Amino acid sequence: MIDHSLLRPELTRPEVLAGLATAREYATASVCVRPADVALAVAGLRGSGVAVGTVVGFPHGGATTATKERETAELVALGAAEIDMVIDVGRLRDGDVAYVEEQVAAVVVAADGRPVKVILENWYLSDEQKVAGCAASERAGAAYVKTSTGFAGGGATAADIALMRRSVSPSMGVKAAGGVRTLDALLTLRDLGATRFGATTTAAMLDDLARRLASRDG
């Protein structure tokens, strides 16, 4: 359920490679890397079963639809298997839901069958806007709605996960990202309906899980 996140702007190539090794060791669902690291991640994770994801319009979402389409197509060509796109947050706050839906739909087409996770950046949104963003994303064919980039003022909250889960159909995923740093936090959000998690503390959380399972079985 974890997308191991390698998105910090200061990461060096050795640090990215170390992150890829962590994802391989712990058999995460995916890594989520910066666009410039997609080729490196594809090569580094070949044969591991760990998918390579990346971001589009990140972190602010203000690029044009054509730019997001081109970015998506390029990253797919490089081997990206999942796309996390940031919506135009200002347009959603304006009430221009049609624009948001059309942009998500364009990225879904450019992703050519690969899952698209739509980052709403909830920190800036009212509950009404979050619900509208969820509905637009589902109508546009996205696979997931996602709480945040991790670069705004706040990340995933229990209230937001519960709201997003109620706002989409059971077939759509909900991704919690930003501030999910402990196993207990992850489990709480899972129980509220999150189905995927963006995390940087992957090893610590899964080591904690292993200790708990060993103690229970012992």
Active-site residue list: 84, 146, 175
Question: SS3 of 144, please?
Answer: strand
Query: For the residues of 39-85, what is the DSSP string, one character each?
Result: HHHHHHHTTSSPEEEEEESTTT--S-HHHHHHHHHHHHHHT--EEEE
Q: Is 4 exposed, middle or buried (0-12, 13-18, 19+ CB in 10 A)?
A: buried
Task: Give first-to-last CA distance, the chain, whole Å.
Answer: 25
CA angle, residues 194, 196, 198, in degrees to nearest 5: 115
- CB-count exposure of residue 177 (10 Å: 0-12, 13-18, 19+): buried
Give Cα 29 to chain centroid, integer Å.
Answer: 11
